Amino acid sequence: MTRTQHAALKPANPIASGSMLSDEQWSSIAQTLNITPREQQVIRGIFDGLNEALIADELKISTHTVHTHLDRLYRKLNVSCRCNLVIRIFAEYIALYPNNAQERSAGLCA
């Protein structure tokens, strides 16, 4: 199943979507955390709610390679699961963009 097919099965959720952050914000977070471009793509797939098979399909790599990227990300970011990975990314976002984070938590962003 492709990302497009997967997206058609679930309602859009901007809170959980990788599109929640701008490309510039993703780049800043990746640079600060020393995340490679491919690792960033895997993380964005997670934020889009994709499983390893869908991420692999989207990136044209094997599920084993996705799993390897996730294992390396977990070690690099000192986390043990996807939930903690997402929390770690949000923590970095808050550290880099404190004003944006306050606006989002107050419901002031469109």
Asked if 54 and 6 touch (Cβ cutoff 8 Å), the reply is yes
Rounded to the nearest angstrom, the gap between the alpha carbon of residue 26 and the centroid of all alpha carbons in its chain is 9
Q: What is the pLDDT of residue 17?
A: 47
Q: What is the pLDDT of residue 100?
A: 73
Q: What is the pLDDT of residue 2?
A: 58
State which CATH number among 2.102.10.10, 3.40.630.30, 3.40.47.10, 1.10.10.10 fits the domain covering 3-105. Answer: 1.10.10.10
Q: What is the pLDDT of residue 14?
A: 39
Q: What is the pLDDT of residue 55?
A: 95
| Domain extents in the chain | 3-105
Asked if 77 and 33 touch (Cβ cutoff 8 Å), the reply is yes
Q: Give the closest residue to 90 by CA, choosing from 36, 20, 12, 24.
A: 20
Q: What is the pLDDT of residue 16?
A: 42
Could you state, in chain order, the average pLDDT of each consecutive group of 10 residues for the chain (110 residues)? 53 49 93 96 94 95 97 97 96 89 54
Q: What is the pLDDT of residue 105?
A: 54
